[in-house]
Amino acid sequence: MRSWTVRGAAALLVGLLTMMAGRAAMAVEQGGLARNMRPLRSLVTVEGVRENQLIGYGLVVGLQGTGDGTQVKFAGQTVANMLKQFGVKLPERIDPRLRNVATVMVSAVFPPGYRKGQRIDVTVSSMGDAKSLRGGMLVLTPLRAADGQIYALAQGNVVVGGFTASGASGSSVTVNSPTTGRIPNGATIEREIESDFHTRPTVLLSLKVPSFQTATNIVQAINRRYGQLASTNNATTVEVVAPMNPTQRVAFVAGLESLMVDVGDALPKVVFNSRTGTVVIAEGVRVRPAAISHGSLKVVISETPAVSQPAPFSRGETTVVPQSQVDARQEAPGMFLWPEGVSLQTIIDTVNSTGATPDDIMAILQALDQVGAIEGELVVI
């Protein structure tokens, strides 16, 4: 009886362990799938539903002596042209110099579907040599699109997040940018932008990151949910047959945007900025077997000025003679050897431990990419 009990307990323990291992593997698999699932709205944009850029040129008035100076010729011309519109004619060859006026560029974003009378935010940026836009007001400025048509009118008080202060000795301090500001709800829509979103028989979805695998997964996910409505012929767009009724089409696109899609395994990337030395490594980057030796040549040039004093009564002149010293040193490079499959983060940590600079790391990454040792894509910005 005791032997059977021990055997039964052992069998039960083995069964429990097997069940727990199966559940753990299933949880890992489901976790991996859930990690790759994304809502469709984060993967695509709907063609015909997009923002449009607006831009205009105007004047900010009411500044406390921080406007454009005398070097900005077009500031006076702009003031004179504006006064003409109000029936004020300046004498000939008179160029008004007003330190409380600044010429600015005004920019805004026209959201998709906005109608007449709706308001949008605008950004105001100085064009001349104005010191600050704080306390100023933008006078009525038309905002145009790329076709040259006026779509909005902007006006209002400028909100500036930065400031500058200076003393009589010439010292000054500046926080953020005092020559750029915003006007919340500062522009009113005066003309609508037509869209063919509600007239086309299909809805076109444009992938933010082109991928054949992602496009295929999107088509499969839509067809599983709604039937055979989606198709694609490239890695960039997916075409979906949509209802012609406007209300039904809006509801249909809303359902599409909330649809969860498996994006698959994307090609891992290594991105580095050659100007700032920033290196970003995506998850999954691996390196094939490689040996690296990276040396550095340091050249130090120092200038030491020396004074050459002429002899007494020689009518010579005292001059400053520069003395240059050039020192070139070649440090002994180290050799690194990594086995296959090691992560790139391990390589970066190893190189960093030797005191390498970001420039050295970028040089090593470029060399590894040239020999095909990086299992990923190297992007330089």
* Tens digits of residue pLDDT in 59-108: 999 998 888 887 788 888 888 888 888 888 888 777 777 888 999 999 99
Q: For residue 70, which amino acid is it?
A: T
For the record, the structure tokens of 136 come out as: 């100023």
The per-residue pLDDT for range 258-291, each reduced to its tens digit, is 999 988 777 788 887 777 777 777 777 777 777 7
Q: For residue 23, which amino acid is it?
A: R
pLDDT given for residue 6 in this prediction: 43
Look up residue 149 and give its DSSP letter. Answer: -
Q: What angle do CA 64, 66, 88 make, to 5 degrees?
A: 75
Helix, strand, coil abundance in the chain, percent, nearest 5: 25, 35, 40
d(CA 103, CA 197): 38
Q: For residue 242, which amino acid is it?
A: A
Nearest to 142 by CA among 55, 251, 39, 255: 55
Q: What integer is the mean pLDDT of 3-28?
A: 45
Nearest to 133 by CA among 54, 55, 58, 56: 58
pLDDT given for residue 341 in this prediction: 64
d(CA 69, CA 282): 49
- Domain ranges across the chain: 52-189, 196-262, 269-380
CB 182 within 8 A of CB 116: no
Beta bridge partners of 189: 152
Look up residue 41 and give its DSSP letter. Answer: G
Residue 379 pLDDT grade (very low, low, confident, very high; cuts 50, 70, 90): confident
CB 154 within 8 A of CB 138: yes
What does each C-alpha distance from 176 to 61, 63, 72 come to in angstroms?
21, 18, 23
Q: How many CB atoms lie within 10 A of CB 305?
A: 8
Look up residue 320 and give its DSSP letter. Answer: E
Residue 308 pLDDT grade (very low, low, confident, very high; cuts 50, 70, 90): confident
For the record, the structure tokens of 226 come out as: 């709604």
